[in-house]
Structure 1
């Protein structure tokens, strides 16, 4: 499967980038080293969430009724169709707002394009795709910044609002919480297959549907007191983002591999060796904090680390709220939403059975 470029003589977008989507992210181990010297944010009393616990966005209390959520996300192409690339990148950026429990209010476009390589129509298509997702979210693209760059880069700086009491941090999960995942996994594998031109039409459609689906349930879930923590599963894979919740909350996460939902064709492609390089980098960064059951082979291990672009919400909630949380997901069209594990008292880490 090769998706469409808007002009026939244009180079494939994915051919211009050394990595695509959230697979471009700096590996978590290296990122930790880079951030080690950052100054503490504690002196800023109104800053509710900074970078201390690897949360999805920064949160600043404006008053007793409003907290401002701010985030930015951008990456190189994961597909060749300019319009779809713009849609995916925008949905991925807005996901961080929803993951904190907020609703987006405005976005700014971040644009880096090889002006002398890509046709202007393709660049315009990327911008139009991003704007279409923002319109779907009910917000404007109110400005932005652009540069002439070697690789095509697009994303958003996004802002949102939530009641201060509804902000959901990684650090507030509780022992006994159930872990619910909102979307199926395997975007990294499907994107790798697309780049190799071996992705089926079904796989391509599933990838586009998943990566452009806005994580709107986050704003509704945040209003439930029984929902204690949320994040979205993106470039560090399911294991990496579950580990962030576990570390921030001082708990042990337990995942059931048998319960994990997969996008169509992902398992088969992985068994054929279609694995992203980011999976290995992710494991090298956090594998010493993961306990895998003896039956989990290298292929499944790689899938557990597979980078997700515009992935699903990972929700930690009280067991008695499970049905309500799943109902919210399913009512908004998240057919794959399911319970994938739980959090227990114990050393911070992730155990997979």
Structure 2
């Protein structure tokens, strides 16, 4: 059955409904506490790749589930269900059925004890399709027997008959059954995108929006942040990407306020333009380069009485007229 969608194809490709009594898919973020309380909800849906830390976080979340009165549900996750793709990672977490193996955490160089080794049953389910092979589930086996049902209406029976004259034999298998779930609180599912690759333990899977506020998690000479799909996040520490004014700290004279149009006066002061009317962020048509030759008509000046001209070209014309007048006296 499809754990993450309200409807979808079954194992034979037929479209079915997979919602439970609460109207939600088996794994959802908004399971209501009770039929009379849809405001308070609980989640049994995640998007983390299978690692020891992810199992630990999931197990803790399941044990924090509450009933409609706020009492713990006493969930004990003891079963890890994976596709063949994640079998190796699953057995590294759960351990192999050999008591002589050292019970250390996978990937640890500190010989940390693996508290889960020997206490988790791994189920490798080949019927999880390849298109969803990175999905995995944590389950409470006792609650799963109570709430996940398979009902035999007629167990499959084989039959055959051979025609006396033609010796043609016919075969048949007849069976009927029903299945479904009545309560979600036995399982927690992680719905992983197919393009997500296995990540080393030192890479932290975080939402992109939280990346700038989280401390860096370093290995010797590099730092990597990835989003929920395993893609690198550029948080302004180098490399490519678009830098906006909001990405710049406003702590110095060359900060954000200098670069935004709302603070043009600060920019003019910073570049020595003082109280001029130089517009920041304009085009070359309004801000000329330093070696630009200005026409005399474009250079403003103070009028020389009794003249009224206020640009160099007009003032020169007035002076020429006065000189001509003096020469004709």
TM-score normalised by L of structure 1: 0.24
Task: Tell me: higher relative CO, structure 1 or 2? Use CA pairs within 8 A at least 6 residues apart.
Answer: 1
Normalization by structure 2: what TM-score? 0.26
